[in-house]
Amino acid sequence: MSEKIIIIGGGPGGYIAALRGAALGGKVTLIEKENLGGTCLNWGCIPSKIMKNSADLFLKCLKADQFGIKIEGEITPDMVALMDRKEKILATQRKGISSLLQSRGVIIEKGRGTIKSPGVIEVSKSDGQKIDLDFDKLIIAVGTKPMNVPDFPFDHKKILSSNDILVMDSIPKSMTIVGGGVIGCEFAFIFCALGCDVTIVEAMSRLLPLPSVDEACSKLLLREMKKRKIKVLCDTIVTKADTIGDGVGIFLAPSPFTDNPKPQKLKTDQIKSQIMAVCIGRTPLSEGLGLENIGLSTQGPGWIPANEQMQTPVENVYAIGDILGPDKIMLAHVASHEGLVAAQNAMALETDPKSTMSYEVVPGAIFTMPEIGTVGLSENQAVAKGFEVETASVNFRVLGKAQAIDEIAGEAKMIIEKKSHKVLGVHLIGPHATDLIAEATLAIEKGLTAEEIAHTIHAHPTLAEIMGEVASKASGIPLHG
C-alpha cells in the first residue's frame, strides 16, 4: 500500500521532497499558500540574482570604451523594465515547477495548511473553502519571513524588508542597510552599481560575520566596498528610525554585540537616508501551523527540532529547510537535500536503513561584487577544532582569464591539515567564485589532498585555474601565486 505523504510548503525543500516521494511510489500532496518555489525563487535567491545580473551589465556598459566598444548616448538603469523581466522569469520558473510536479503525479493544493489532528491536515483556500486531507507521513517545509524589529518596524515605504527591496520601481538616491550579512552585502553592491549612495550598519566587527566565511574574505570585501564608496559602519547598531518628513533619520549607538575588543568609535550618532532596508535575520513561520495538535513543541522563537534523519520528536512527522533554524544551515540547496532525506525516510520500510543528512561539507555562495564561494572550515574554525593547519592564498590577478575579462579583484585561500595535507576548507572571493567552489566541495567531500588537486590539469585560460594555483602553493610548489 502506498504511503500518503503531505508536504506543507512548496519551496526548494518541499517541492524536491514531493518529487522524491512520488518517485518512490508515494501518494504525495503538496500544500502551498502562495507561489511554488518558496522564498528562494520568489523573494530571495533568484530575483536578487536577476537584479545583480543587470547591475553587472550596467557597470560593464559604463566602461565599454575600455573593452573597445563605443556606446553613444546616455546609459541609465530602468527599474520598471528590470522588475518586468524579473516577474517574467519567476513566472516561467513557477510554471516549470508546477508542470514537473504534476507530471510526477503530485497533487498541488493551493491554500494554507494547518495540522487539525494526528493524521489530518486542514487546507484553507482563498475563497473560504476548507478541506481535510489524511496523511500517513507529514513533511513540514514552511520556511521563514524577514524579521521585523520592534524598534524600527517595517512600514514598507521608508523602512523596507528584503522582500520590499525586490519590488522597488525606482532607484533611491540613498539607502542605509541594517545588517552586513549575506543579504545586506549583496543588496549594497547591487544598488551601489545602479547609482545609489549606500551605507551599511553592522553590529559585529566585520562584514559577513559568519563562522563559515573566512576573515580574509571579509577584509577583501570591505576593501572593494571602499573602492565603490559604500560606507560601512561596523561595531554599530541602529536604535530607532524617524520617518517623519523627508527620508529616514537613523539613530546609531555602539554595538553591545560586537566581538571586537577595540570597537570602532562612532563618528556620528545619526545619519539620514531616503530609505532604510532591514536585513538582519529571519523569523520562523511555525505560528498557526497547529503543531500543538500533535504535541510538537518548537524551540526559541518557533524553530522545529529534527534529527539527522529529518524526523521530528513526533512519529511520522518530518521537518526540513529554514524552519529548522540557525542550528542547521539555512540555505536553499541544504533544504533540497534535507527534502530528499525526509522523503526517502518517509517511504522507507521499518527494516530499511535510514538516510541521514550531513552538514559537514556544504558550499556557500554569496553574490557580492566580487562573488564569494566557501566550503569546509575557515582557518579559525579549523584551529578551534584542534587541527594543526597550514594555509595558502593566491590572488585572482595572476590568472590570464581574470585579466582578459577585467575582473582581477579577489583571492583564493586554502586551509589544509599540516600532517596529512588533506583540504579542510577553501574560501574564494573573486569572479565567478560561486561556480568555482564546486571543485573544492567535491575535493573536501572525497578527502583529497592539496597535492591531488595540484596534479589535476585545469584548462587554460580559465578562472578554474585558481584551484590549481592555490593547491600548488599549499603543496609547497607555487606557480604564479
| pLDDT tens per residue across span 458-478 | 999 999 999 999 999 999 999
Residue-range definition of the domain harbouring residue 178: 159-279
Q: Per the domain annotation, does 461 fall within a domain?
A: yes
**Mean pLDDT of the chain, nearest integer:** 96
Number of neighbouring beta carbons within 10 Å of residue 212: 17
Q: Which residues pair with 372 in a beta bridge?
A: 366, 429
Contacts of residue 179, Cβ cutoff 8 Å, sequence gap at least 6: 200, 201, 202, 278, 279, 280, 281
pLDDT 10s digits, 173-212: 999 999 999 999 999 999 999 999 999 999 999 999 999 9
Q: Per the domain annotation, does 18 fall within a domain?
A: yes
Closest CA to 284 of 320, 317, 324: 324
Residues 266, 339, single domain; the answer is no
How many domains does the chain fold into? 3
Residue 389's pLDDT is 98
Q: Annotate 277-322 with DSSP letters as a single string.
A: EE-S-EEE--TTS-GGGGT---BTTTBPP--TTSB-SSTTEEE-GG
Residue 75's pLDDT is 94
Q: Is the pLDDT of residue 124 over 70?
A: yes
Q: Are 393 and 469 in contact (CB under 8 A)?
A: no
Q: Per the domain annotation, does 480 fall within a domain?
A: no
Q: Per the domain annotation, does 152 fall within a domain?
A: no
pTM more than 0.85:
yes
pLDDT band at 351, cuts 50/70/90? confident
Residues 175, 297, single domain; the answer is no
| Angle of helix 182-193 versus helix 45-62 axis, rounded to 10 | 30
Q: Are 195 and 218 in contact (CB under 8 A)?
A: no
Q: What is the CATH number of the domain that holds 103?
A: 3.50.50.60
Q: Per the domain annotation, does 303 fall within a domain?
A: yes
Q: Per the domain annotation, does 352 fall within a domain?
A: no
Residue ending a domain, choose from 279, 313, 336: 279
Residues 119, 19, single domain; the answer is yes
Q: Is the pLDDT of residue 426 over 90?
A: yes
Residue ending a domain, choose from 263, 279, 295: 279
Residues 110, 197, single domain; the answer is no
Q: Per the domain annotation, does 353 fall within a domain?
A: no
Please state, in angstroms and rounded to a whole number, the distance separating the CA atoms of residues 292 and 296. 6
Burial class (CB in 10 A: 0-12, 13-18, 19+), 95: exposed
Residues 303, 430, single domain; the answer is no
CA distances to 118, 300, 325, 345 from 320, rounded to whole Å, are 19, 17, 10, 12
Least confident of 256-260, 314-318, 362-366, 444-448: 256-260
pLDDT band at 1, cuts 50/70/90? very low
Q: Is the pLDDT of residue 2 over 80?
A: no
Residues 263, 314, single domain; the answer is no
Residue ending a domain, choose from 279, 313, 338: 279
How large a percentage of the chain has pLDDT more than 70?
100
How large a percentage of the chain has pLDDT more than 90?
96
Residues 326, 395, single domain; the answer is no
Q: Is the pLDDT of residue 265 over 90?
A: no
| In 24-174, alpha helices (H) | 38-43, 45-62, 79-103, 162-165
Q: What is the CATH number of the domain that holds 406?
A: 3.30.390.30
Please state, in angstroms and rounded to a whole number, the distance separating the CA atoms of residues 137 and 119. 8
Residues 269, 189, single domain; the answer is yes
Residues 60, 167, single domain; the answer is no
pLDDT 10s digits, 267-307: 899 999 999 999 999 999 999 999 999 999 999 999 999 99
Residues 180, 225, single domain; the answer is yes
Place of cell 573593452: 67
Please state, in angstroms and rounded to a whole number, the distance separating the CA atoms of residues 268 and 104. 59
Catalytic, 460? Answer: yes
Residue 208's pLDDT is 98
Q: Per the domain annotation, does 363 fall within a domain?
A: no
pLDDT 10s digits, 232-247: 999 999 999 999 989 9
Residues 116, 186, single domain; the answer is no
424: number of CA atoms within 13 Å, CB side? 25
Residue 264's pLDDT is 82
pLDDT band at 349, cuts 50/70/90? confident
Q: Which of 156, 455, 460, 480 is an active site residue?
A: 460
Residues 272, 291, single domain; the answer is no
